Structure 1
Amino acid sequence: MVAISWSGYFNNLLAGFNIHLPGWLATNTSNAQSGYEEAVKAIAAGQPLEQLSKHARLGYDAITNAPMIGSWKVILNVPALIIVVLITILAYVGIKESKKSTNFMVIFKIAVILFIIVMGFFYVDTNNWDPFMPNGFGGVLAGVSAVFYAYIGFDAISTTAEECKNPQRDLPRGMIYSLVICTVLYILIALVLTGMVHFSELKVDDPLAYVFDKLGLRKVGYLISVSAVVATTSVLLVFQLGQPRIWMSMSRDGLLPKKFSKVHPRFQTPSFATIVTGCMVGIPAMFVSSSFMTDLTSIGTLFAFVLVCFGVLVLPKINKARNSNAFSLPYINGKFLLPVVVAIVIFVFRSRISNAFANIGTEGYQEILFLVFLAIAIITAILTFLRNYSFIPVIGALCCLYLMIEIPAVSWLWFFVWMVLGLGIYFLYGRNRSRLAQQG
């Protein structure tokens, strides 16, 4: 998703130098097809191609000029692949070099975001906020589910635990401080963007640059494209650093082949895992649309957070069994608190619940998932009452589960495919070779 976004800003950056990549080398088939259909309708209505949106022009160019291999039109997002290759090389070289690059890019990124917020404030038209929630609170929750991938970087911090001097102290502080700062920036940037243009116009790969271009501030839009290229590069670097280390840890625990824990003798990085990560990110980035990748990333992130939240409940028992005090967790007894919260949720959604049960035979997948969520919430509340579970991880898991039901059905399908593949690897390889299994 980040690589695809990077490609959008990079293409805008090239346009500033009057360099235009062919459409079939700068997008994917799905986006090209939707843009082409939009362009065809507009042209049929008598609108000149030059006046169409950037999405429509790019799609029209890609579909009409793409080379053919048999019956397949060759449409590839090449810039997305290139940046993944470059970032993979940087991650392969080592954590020290990557840390220096990341620090510089993060500082630059925050400075530009603050500049956008301050400057954009003077161009806000409050009429664009009327209505403030055009799709209601349900639309807000659907939007939160769609962009939850934006918070994936916070769990990536934990994957660098081995590089921390004091992980017990530094990791929680780093996560909480980053979470608070970024949440405030997210809210401010969302308010500014939706105030500068109508929210319906933000369905582009480079929204930050688009809003300023739309208002005739092309130099500012160009500057933002430069900064966005740097910003998304830093985000991609964090992801490319984190995933290989997750696989390295899993390999050390016996859940993946030992090749994944192989450390380069010179650079001291998980070399094989880094290369595999680059391939698994770069190849799909050439073909998959940003909207689909966003939903798929969000549902995977939400599910991972659900597992972590429920998994936290057993950490105190494991630490006690091993006589270890590592990573002690704050405890808030949810015995009465969680059942009250679940009861309030049931009361608030009582109309939706009754309608879902009344039309159970004709309901769509989303309402079925909602009923499943309610069943899980009720069971969890009962278990919390009986076993005195900690409130924080349990409510965290339930919140993530609720956000998951807002994800489109096609992402659920691919999520299950990916989960089956992962479970297959676990049962066929990792289950019998894990350290826990060897310890008996």
Structure 2
Amino acid sequence: MKNTIFRKKSVDQLLHQHGKVQLNKTLGAFDLMLLGVGAIVGTGIFILPGTVAAEHAGPGIIFSFILAAIVCAFAAMCYSEFSSSIPVTGSAYTYSYVVFGEIIAWIVGWSLILEYGLAVAAVATGWSAYLNSLLAGLNIHIPKAVSGSFDPANGTFVNLPAIIIIFILAFLLTKGVKESTKLNTVMVGLKVLVILLFIVVGVFYVEPTNWKPFTPFGTSGILSGAALVFFAYLGFDAVSSAAEEVKNPQRNMPIGIIGSLLICTVLYVAVSLVLTGMVPYTDLNVSNPVSFAMQLVHQDWVSGIISLGAVIGMMTVILVMLYGSTRLTYAFSRDGLLPKVMSEVDAKHQTPKKNTWITSTLISFCAGFVPLDKLTELVNMGTLLAFTVVSIGVILLRKNKEISTDGFKVPLYPIIPIISFVLCIFLMTQLSIHTIIFCGIWIVIGLIIYFIYGKKHSLLNK
């Protein structure tokens, strides 16, 4: 079993492997819920509703959001059972190591690196667009050449604001997770207030005629819309990456994961209803639909506040997804599958400082040079693959006699895990063939790295 690619880790090994390499337990249920809302509410509420409503679902985008939320809710319950049973950093990668073995764990983890890394890059790119809009309103203009991804025909060469914000938040993460969550709490509070402001003011400008027809693209539009707005829910799985730094994970992990998902679904549906009621869906294909809608009804002061809220709100998404990315590569390294430098913990701040800077540098390259639309679909594929494995993995987890029975358990077992698995596979089929091909190439690259380095250096060899 020692040299096989399907060798597994026992739960006892995971819970007692740390030795000197250990992260501080500082997070409670409320911290986790705010981490989740911080990661989820961003691009999904400030950018996606416009393009998806205009091109795919019309006002029926609310059904797309609800369908995507249902898929995520089933997956969230599976994540909650895993994270309360195996409270170790690494998210779906670590869970797969226990129930499927090393090679499947590597593929899942490698897919999650694609998810977290490109999600940070995508949101940083969207953040840059809102920052440019906000500064333009103050009559401050960033030179065009350094304000967009590489596109010489359009006169843009590098997205400098996107690169800078990633490095600023990386610096914050190196100072400690508790310090990062304090700032996250403030920014999430401001972000939710801005969203509520839009809903309260916007509801007075809703014209019910804008909701007719409610589903102009039919069922197929709602389904393809669901596959795209799935991007809006990314982040709750990053909460499970914090498991090792949580006080009482058996209780707090499920509250954090499921609670943040419920809050965000209510906000998404409310914003989408008001947005498509204020503006005909055909006019919403813009990069800043929420502030654009307020400009149309001459509420420029609200539009300015929303732009500021979007700039603050997207920073929390970058912060939490970057956190998830660094903790994942930390788990890889601690297991011997990546070089040791990625799991070195800074003595003063108890954070993987070198890992954070290496990861942030690679992600900032994508944020600086790759267009937003190319990034979002790729993120969804990596996530759905991880969700699929976690959903079916719960069935194998229940059969593992090592696991404590004290934590959260998925209700209606095994029906919910099976439904979650089927829905994730279905949403995968709604993505473009180019996305599927690129994801396949990414996995092949990952397998090459595993067989050249990871298999040989894995701690399970010892």
Identify the residue that residue 14 of structure 1 maps to in structure 2: 135
How far has the Cα of 1:297 moved from its partner? 1.0
Cα distance in structure 2, aligned partners of 1:293 and 1:419: 17
Identify the residue that residue 332 of structure 1 maps to in structure 2: 412
Change (3 A) 1:262 1:327: farther
Contact 1:141 1:406 in 2 (8 A): yes
How far has the Cα of 1:277 moved from its partner? 2.1
Name which of 266, 279, 282 aligns with 1:184: 266
How far has the Cα of 1:177 moved from its partner? 1.0
Asked if residue 316 in structure 1 is aligned to residue 316 in structure 2, the reply is no
Within 5 Å, give how 1:230-241 maps onto structure 2.
230-241=312-323
Identify the residue that residue 281 of structure 2 maps to in structure 1: 199
Q: CA RMSD in A?
A: 1.9
Output the amino acid matched with 2:237.
D
Identify the residue that residue 144 of structure 2 maps to in structure 1: 23
Identify the residue that residue 70 of structure 1 maps to in structure 2: none
Contact 2:133 2:307 in 1 (8 A): yes
Asked if residue 421 in structure 1 is aligned to residue 445 in structure 2, the reply is yes
Cα distance in structure 2, aligned partners of 1:419 and 1:311: 20
Contact 1:147 1:294 in 2 (8 A): no
Q: Which has the higher contact order (CA 8 A, sep 6+)?
A: 2
Larger Rg: 1
Cα distance in structure 2, aligned partners of 1:173 and 1:86: 30
Identify the residue that residue 377 of structure 1 maps to in structure 2: none
Output the amino acid matched with 1:240.
L
Output the amino acid matched with 1:416.
G
How far has the Cα of 1:172 moved from its partner? 0.4
Cα distance in structure 2, aligned partners of 1:109 and 1:282: 24
How far has the Cα of 1:425 moved from its partner? 2.2
Identity, in percent, stands at: 42
Q: Secondary structure at the match of 2:124?
A: helix
Structure 2 unaligned spans of 5+: 1-121
Cα distance in structure 1, aligned partners of 2:127 and 2:190: 16
How far has the Cα of 1:313 moved from its partner? 2.1
How far has the Cα of 1:267 moved from its partner? 1.5
Output the amino acid matched with 1:234.
T
What TM-score do the two structures reach when normalised by structure 2? 0.70
Q: Secondary structure at the match of 2:286?
A: coil
Within 5 Å, give how 1:241-260 maps onto structure 2.
241-260=323-342
Cα distance in structure 1, aligned partners of 2:430 and 2:332: 30
Cα distance in structure 2, aligned partners of 1:289 and 1:213: 26
Change (3 A) 1:202 1:290: farther
Contact 1:168 1:327 in 2 (8 A): yes
How far has the Cα of 1:329 moved from its partner? 2.8
Asked if residue 156 in structure 1 is aligned to residue 238 in structure 2, the reply is yes
Contact 1:142 1:407 in 2 (8 A): yes
How far has the Cα of 1:244 moved from its partner? 0.7
Identify the residue that residue 81 of structure 1 maps to in structure 2: 163
1:341-389 superposed Cα distances (whole Å, 9 cap, x missing partner): xxxxxxxxxxxxxxxxxxxxxxxxxxxxxxxxxxxxxxxxxxxxxxxxx
Contact 1:128 1:194 in 2 (8 A): yes
Cα distance in structure 2, aligned partners of 1:406 and 1:323: 36
Query: How many residues are matched?
Result: 341
Cα distance in structure 2, aligned partners of 1:199 and 1:227: 23
Output the amino acid matched with 1:396.
S
Output the amino acid matched with 1:25.
V
Cα distance in structure 2, aligned partners of 1:164 and 1:308: 20
Structure 1 unaligned spans of 5+: 34-62, 67-73, 334-389
